[in-house]
Amino acid sequence: MDIAQRVAVVTGGASGIGRSLCLALAERGAAAVVVADVDAGGATEVAAAIEAGGHRALPVTADMTREADAEALVAQAEDRFGPVDLFCSNAGIIVDGGVEVPDDAWSRIWAVNVQSHVYVARALLPRMLARGEGYLVLTASAAGLLTELGSAPYSVTKHAAVALAEWLSITYGDRGLRVSCLCPQAVRTNLIATSHREVSAMPEVRTGLGTPQASVDGVLTPEQVAAVVIDAIADERFLILPHPEVAMYEQRRADDRERWLRGMRRLQVRLSGQPS
């Protein structure tokens, strides 16, 4: 897809990867960028920065775990700028722990990391399929292709996000829908702070990353990730890997699952500092 003169919507647009995506889309000539986030002030600041650069933007306060908010977001975007061509569904959080994580935290991370994408697809599919074109970019994680040491909820929900993106591409790819799935490793964002906000009413839930696993191949800036996403959209690539090493890890996982599992256990011990 050529981004020029396309209407784009980005959720989680107030900070991190979402913010950088909004700015990059405007710089690449998008007709308009809708900046959506539960952080109203942050969304307004990003939209103002876009408009200061001579581009059109609209801030929208939206909680993407609510289907009504997802529907209203699409309606607002279309009322202001016309049909949505590109939608980057980018909201996400992380919590530490395994199966012992409280049900409320499991429910919240599922709502943010998976159900938000479902609501976006429900709102957009009838419109995009009727036009015979449209583009969805779902933000998952390298954890959705591999795993996240120290966080079962993050691993499970990111695998689900990848599966949803694949299903959408398979089911509607021949009807004009283009789908990409963003799967980075470590990125310098405020994910921890955002996650803490989402589960602040659950003091027993931890939101710090359990191990430095994701940073073993380097920590990218949000601007670097946004640039990779823009190039992938131009090529209409399904899998977007800002850390290219992930492709090799996924191949190793598929080639010999038992060996990969053993290797991940060794990595877990090494990164945790615990004796083997």
Distance, CA of 32 to chain centre: 20
* CB-count exposure of residue 273 (10 Å: 0-12, 13-18, 19+): exposed
Residue with tokens 């919240």: 108
Is 135 one of the catalytic residues?
no
Half-sphere exposure of 272 (CA within 13 A, CB side): 12
189: three-class secondary structure by DSSP = coil
159 CB-near residues (< 8 Å, 6+ apart): 143, 144, 145
Q: Tokens in use for 271? A: 């990164």
Interhelix angle 152-172/116-131, rounded to 10 degrees, is 10
Strands across the sheet with 32-37, in order?
57-61, 32-37, 7-11, 86-89, 134-139, 177-182, 239-240
Q: How far apart are CA 275 and CA 26, in angstroms?
A: 50
Q: Which of 119, 135, 154, 249 is catalytic?
A: 154
Q: Give all strands (DSSP E) within 4-160, no chain letters.
A: 7-11, 32-37, 57-61, 86-89, 134-139
The residues assigned a catalytic role are: 154
